[in-house]
Structure 1
Amino acid sequence: MTKLLQEVFNKIEQLNPEIQDAIASRLLTELEDEKKWDSSFVNTTDEQWQKMADMVKQEILNGDITPLDDILEVES
């Protein structure tokens, strides 16, 4: 275990049990989500990646895109 993770666990131990369980639940959910994403990426074939890239290129050519500035807040 890393020092940083140990530090986090030490701090969590000082919290009341309800908060500890809430944090544990969120961490378990996050770990399961990471596992699913890892599995999805590992199992994606070169053909699937190419198909996705072709779809994105076609959407760009068709103008079916939303500029990032419209999605993200951009500081002036």
Structure 2
Amino acid sequence: MSTAEIIGEVQKLPPDEVFELSRWIREYEAELWDQQIERDICAGKLNKVAQEAVAELRDGKTRPFPE
């Protein structure tokens, strides 16, 4: 089924089912994001950023988040 076909079918749904589907899609996207981040961490893709953050913290170049 193509994306266009899926969109057409979604447009036929009653609003409560659209909201339910939307909630499910957001949760699914979050799972996919978590999986991608985990793969990137395992592959060392975030090492440089993490090292820079630790160095800035050590050197006093950080500030607290506003409340």
Q: TM-score range by the shorter chain?
A: 0.5 to 0.7
Aligned length: 44
Task: Extract unaligned runs of 5+ from structure 1.
Answer: 47-76
Q: Root-mean-square deviation (CA), in Å?
A: 1.7
- TM (norm. structure 2) is 0.58
Task: Extract unaligned runs of 5+ from structure 2.
Answer: 45-67
User: Residue 42 of structure 1 aligns to which amino acid in structure 2?
Assistant: D
In 2, Cα distance between equivalents of 1:28 and 1:6: 19
- 1:61 corresponds in structure 2 to none
Q: How does 1:1-76 map to 2 (within 5 A)?
A: 4-45=2-43
Percent sequence identity over matched residues? 7
User: Residue 8 of structure 2 aligns to which amino acid in structure 1?
Assistant: N
Deviation of 1:13 (Å): 0.7
Deviation of 1:41 (Å): 0.8
Runs of 4+ residues over 6 Å off in structure 1:
none
In 1, Cα distance between equivalents of 2:39 and 2:28: 17
